[in-house]
Structure 1
Amino acid sequence: MTPTTYGATVGARAGVGVGLYKRQIPFTWFTSTGANCAIATCCFCIGTGINFGARMLKEYGLHHLLAGQVSNEGDKATISASKQSLLSALYNFELPGWSPIQKLDEEEAKRRLVERENQ
């Protein structure tokens, strides 16, 4: 937001200067040039941010891909510790009690199966 404000300010000042130089109404140049510079600055910053985010996401994915690779040293069936911790975190994820979505444990699944068969 700050770079866009700076871009609009610079564009508005330039618009006033052009309006005075051309001996026309400065307000028209002030608004149009300021708005155009604000839009251009905003698009440049959103595009740069998206590009930066995409690069960081790619590096993050490559890092985790390489961390999950089987090492050539030792047993090839072993999985790296970071991948094991990630898998355990995914499987042991607990939802809060107020959430309408809950894990279905084996006892509850058996009880529901019996209830369906009885119905």
Structure 2
Amino acid sequence: MSQHFQQAILALGEAIAHERGATDDSRGALGVRAAEFLLKVHRQMPDYLRPPFHSLVLLFNAWPLLRRGKFFHQLSLDDRLAELDKWRQSRLEFRRRFVEFHMSLALFCIYSDLYGQDYQHEPATGAPASP
């Protein structure tokens, strides 16, 4: 994986963690864990999906070059959040779906880290629950 790809995913994870209101001390750690999860998901994609998703991440990272002269991962946190909003509200569906896909995966990781103990459940035994 290219350096720009990894930096873009890390910046995306940090922005999502910040957007979800993680505290300052945990935001960095949650963002890094979310980015690691996103990288793991990308590595585990089938061979036919990996190149298109890799290209989309690189396109996402390079998109701000047109207006701001910087890659997404080089932007300040506020500018990253603004860029995410632009993609989220875009008329181009692939931009909206890109953010939705990565946001849902990152949030899954973040909330699993934050509340993982709350969602443990007993394995089903096959017996119906008593009223």
Higher relative contact order (CA 8 A, sep 6+): 2
TM-score, normalised relative to structure 1? 0.30
TM-score normalised per structure 2: 0.28
* Larger Rg over CA atoms: 1
